Amino acid sequence: MGRDLTCKELVELVTGYLDGSVRGRRRRRFEAHIAACDGCTRHLLQMEATIRVTGSLTEEQMTEEQKAVLLTAFRGWSTS
């Protein structure tokens, strides 16, 4: 099947995976990595949740507390 996908490569492909543009061997490598890597599985789930929420929630609908929680959560987020 070729070499394994690295975590960094997965992060770069995650939006393409979610929108269906990652196909074939690359998609199989992505899914094999997700099956074996808890950190990348969490990242994928967070991205799915973010996309779901951002499609239905506006900044005006959020309380200041909710904004603070999100800012805190993403402040330490790293893709490396």
CA angle (48 as vertex; 20, 79 as ends), nearest 5: 95
> What is the mean pLDDT of the segment spanning 12-32?
93
CB 4 within 8 A of CB 33: yes
pLDDT band at 29 (very low <50, low <70, confident <90, very high): very high
Output the average pLDDT for the chain.
Answer: 84
| pLDDT tens digits along 44-79 | 999 888 888 777 667 777 788 888 887 787 776 665
Higher pLDDT, 18 or 54: 18
Q: Rounded to a whole number, what is the distance in angstroms from the first to the last CA of the chain?
A: 25
Provide the residue ranges of all domains of the chain, joining segments of one domain with +: 7-75
Mean pLDDT of 21-47: 94
